Amino acid sequence: MDELLRIHDRNPVPLPRQWWDDWLDPTIEGDQHFVDAAVQAALPVASGLEVYEVAPLPAHGDGPELIEPVERD
């Protein structure tokens, strides 16, 4: 998940979909074991990510072209 450190210094954890409900459930009391398990579950997700630079978001714009990779010479 070191690639994600370039995105944010708190190292985002890309949780697998099957973890979303538990992670967001306010009735589940999280502890270090829960966090550690979530990080371990995220490792296969993170290793499969494709990371590339995209253009900055324009002031008045939105669209699928915003996720196209920036081509550098």
pLDDT in tens, 44-69: 887 777 878 888 877 777 788 888 88
* CA 55 – CA 46 distance, rounded (Å): 22
pTM for this entry: 0.53
φ/ψ bin of 18: left (φ > 0), alpha (ψ from -120 to 50), beta (otherwise): alpha
- Confidence (pLDDT) at 9: 67
- Confidence (pLDDT) at 2: 62
